[in-house]
Amino acid sequence: MKPAFRGLLVVVAGSVLLAGCTGDPDPGPTTASPTEAVAEGGRYVALGDSYTAGPRLGVTTGAQGCEQTAGNYPHLLADRLGLELTDVSCGGATSESLTASQTPPNGAPVPPQLDALTADTDLVTLSIGGNDGKAFGTLVTTCVGLALKDRQGAPCAELGDQARDGLGSQVTTLARRLGKAVKKIRERAPKARIVMVGYPQMFPASGTCDLLPLAKGDYPFARDLIERVVQAQQDAATQAGIDYVDVWTASEGHDICSADPWVAGLVPAERALEYHPYAQEQRVVADLLEELLAGS
């Protein structure tokens, strides 16, 4: 199922829409997120995984092992708008990492990301979910490994029912988990404007390339899985009455196999971690957020 995206910026504060592909019940009554502009000097908290952290894109910031850098979109946005930034994004984070400690590779345990929120927080961005159920990791490790023995087939899509159902189950319930996370954010930061930030297009709609060494038949499986994650993010934002930034639409034509990729493949062409955003993608996300906030 393809996400029913509504344009580059989807401002959904105050609206309610039942989940589309998630199949989850409405998590309950919602309260619209504040939509006023965030003033210079306002307190900004960034929550997320490696697609927020921006690995290898600049000077390392944040906790050891989180692969967070000053080249990520939270730092870019904070610099542009003169905001006081607390960035707790961390590579490998799942939706569980919002409320429970996470131990990144080669690092010490880090506190739950929501611990960074305070009553005087003015802006919160949230982008998470791709690591739930090890969805992203499965695609770029397990599926790539399986392709070595079956280049023309679809070995990842044809995994045993238990493995596929495990991934599908995590994605199916993601919107509800994100909705609960937004509720917890509101409890800790009641006056904050909350923005859900979606993921970019990583896998092409058609064709294959050496930079993305999946089996030929697994490309549609990989793209569909990430589309479902992105749709769950959008559904959660709509249900919760918060803003949603549609990075998927903005990144059309810039997947790993494109002539102008915004996400690195197996061998990055410039500074970036493999299968993670280039600096251009992070600049675009900062642009979209700046546009959204300026239109308040």
Secondary structure (DSSP) of 109-129: -B--GGGG--TT--EEEEE--
Q: Which residues are catalytic?
A: 50, 276
Q: How far apart are CA 17 and CA 36, in angstroms?
A: 22
Please check whether residue 240 is in contact with residue 157, taking contact to mean a CB–CB distance below 8 angstroms: no
Q: What is the strand order of the sheet 9-10 is part of? A: 9-10, 243-245, 193-197, 123-127, 43-48, 84-87
Per the structure block, which two tokens stand in for 169? Answer: 């189950």
Q: How far apart are CA 99 and CA 73, in angstroms?
A: 23
Per the structure block, which two tokens stand in for 242? Answer: 């918060």
Secondary structure (DSSP) of 232-262: HHHHHHHHHT-EEE-HHHHTTT-STTSSS-S
Amino acid at site 27 = P
